[in-house]
Amino acid sequence: MSDRHVFEYALLRVVPRVERGECVNAGVLVYCRARSYVGARTHLDEARLLALDPRVDLSGVRAALRAVEGVCAGGDAAGQAAEDDPGRRFRWLIAPRSTIVQPGPVHTGLTADPAAETQRLLDLLVR
C-alpha cells in the first residue's frame, strides 16, 4: 500500500487590473482530504506586481494573502470559517471571485507530505 495520497492545489494570483488580464502568481493552496490538511504558502514579488501596476495597493494585497493563510490555519485567524472542516475551507478559498487576489484552476497530484508539497509548489510555481 502506498503512503501517497491524492491532493488538490490551486495557485493564488494577483490581478491588479482585471481589464488587462495580467497577473502575478503569489501563492499556492493545497488540500489533502486523507490527511485533513489545508494549507497555503504565499510570496509576493512586489517589483513584478508594481511593473504591472505602479498604483497597486500593496498593503491590501499583503492583507488579502495573510487572510488566505489565516483561513487555512484555522482557529481565530480563520474568522467565521474556523469551525469549517479543511475541505470546506479549501472549497471556499478556490471559489471564483472578482477581487484582486484570485484562485487559479484546481489541479491534482499524489503526495506523502502535504505540507512539504505546499512548499515545493510555492518554490516551483511562484518564486
Q: Within its chain, how far is the Cα of 45 from the centroid?
A: 15
> For position 78, what pLDDT does the model report?
67
Inter-residue contact 26 to 126 (CB < 8 Å): yes
Tens of pLDDT, residues 10-60: 999 999 988 888 999 999 999 999 999 999 999 999 999 999 999 999 999
Q: What is the pTM of this model?
A: 0.90
Angle (CA) 121-126-127 rounded to 5° is 105
